[in-house]
Amino acid sequence: MTWLEWYNGLEKPSWTPEPSTIGTIWQVLYPIIIVSFGVVFLQVARRKLPLMVGVPFAINLVANLVFTPIQFGLRNLPLAALDILIVWGTILWMMASIWKHIRWVAVAQMPYFVWVSIATVLQLSITWWNWTS
């Protein structure tokens, strides 16, 4: 069974976006993430920002990158739910840690935070409905 067949077979809320819509949203978000994270990582590497400012960005990047393999490769809904909660929480941590240093980077995370908030509710709903049945 392909990942799409598996995903389509899951119980989901009526407001679940189509996979193509989700892909389009990420196509908008990834350039924002690449530029803003790149600035942070570069400034940390140059020692113009404290290492601890970069920690939530690094954790977020790893958690974001492993979500798809967990969700669609392993097809592990509870682990994917935990992972997306880490992504969501680290966005808040990122915004708080960078705010006093580079405010535009914090503000640039708002679309990412809004989407991941929606995706988190969606993932938790899918996990609950399919894991408990």
Residue pair 39/102 in contact by the 8 Å Cβ criterion: yes
Distance, in Å, from the CA atom of 7 to the CA atom of 51, rounded to the nearest integer, reads 39
- Model pTM above 0.85: yes
Residue pair 89/67 in contact by the 8 Å Cβ criterion: no
Cα 104 off chain centre by:
19
Distance, in Å, from the CA atom of 12 to the CA atom of 119, rounded to the nearest integer, reads 12
- pLDDT of res. 59: 98
All structural domains of the chain with their residue ranges: 31-131
Note the pLDDT tens digit of each residue in 56-104. Answer: 999 999 999 999 999 999 999 999 999 999 999 999 999 999 999 999 9
